[in-house]
Homo-oligomer: A and B are copies of this chain.
Amino acid sequence: MREKPSLSRAAIAPTATVEARDETGAARAVAVGGERPLTIYVDREELITLMTLGQEPEHLVVGYLRNQRLVESPSQIESVQVDWEVFAAAVQTRAGRGIDGEAVRRRVVTSGCGQGTMFGGLLEEIEESEIPRAAPLRESALFDLLAQVRVRDTIYKAAGAVHGCALCRLDGERAEIEMFIEDVGRHNAVDAIAGRMWLEEIDAANKAFYTTGRLTSEMVVKCAQMKIPALVSRSGVTQMGLEIARKTGLTMLGRALNRRYLLFSGGEGFARE
């Protein structure tokens, strides 16, 4: 059996209350997203600083390392310890040799995408790997998911200025939200979900991924990397996000709200009822 990394559990309050004045001049207490810097150190060497709400910081760190392809397997990670006193996440690898500087430069900078994320040969890799699918996403399950998202008690409702991502298990006409992460950026929210899926070896074949954010190329690439066969967004899609979804055979829906949606790609993975 593979040993799992040891993780701290350093989630912190995702909102703070600040004072503002409204257009009448009245003072108002307003909840805002508790954005904080989190600097990742791998074997004591500084890698990058992410800005995060800190809901599941350990999963965010693992997912970031995974989605940037800086770590190949969770078994390479000994531990992730987040300490908000110093805004630091200390990653200890089993080999203890840190991350190859050239890999960092090549993957994060040179082959950057959307200001600082990955790509390079990644797209080719993704296109070649098949995305398994347990069963089509049914329209009734989609509506069930959208109804659950709508009534959910979210940081967004309290403070705005954040994006949410959810991983949902599909079971016929029903959808069950297994993870729901909000963060200041869509990328952090999807990375945190990716990290947890990777660590817990969660099967993606019977899942759908939901996001409040836009389906740009990076979002679609990250979902394809996780091998989640269906993507749903409350927001729109971009041309390149759509091209990648079509190339990889992902089922992709945009503008999904209440009982409305647009099916952009992968109709064979979707069952309208």
Contact = CB atoms under 8 A, between A and B. Distances in A.
Interface of A: 16, 18, 20-23, 25, 28, 30, 32-37, 46-51, 64, 101, 104-105, 108-117, 119, 139, 159-162, 184-185, 187-188, 214-218, 235-242, 254-255, 259-264, 267, 272
A50 B50 CA distance: 19
Contacts of A184: 114, 214, 216, 238
Q: Is chain A's interface secondary structure helix, strand, loop, or mixed overall? A: mixed
A16 B236 CA distance: 13
A23 B112 contact: no
Contacts of A32: 236-239, 242
A23 B259 contact: yes
Contact of A160 (B30, B114, B236): B236
A84 to B, nearest CB: 13
A266 to B, nearest CB: 11
Nearest to A31: B236
Contacts of A235: 160-161
Contacts of A161: 214-216, 235-238, 254
Contacts of A21: 262-263, 267
Nearest to A15: B239
B101 A236 contact: no
A13 B129 CA distance: 32
A182 to B, nearest CB: 12
Nearest to A30: B262
A161 B272 CA distance: 25
Contact of A109 (B20, B36, B64, B104): B104
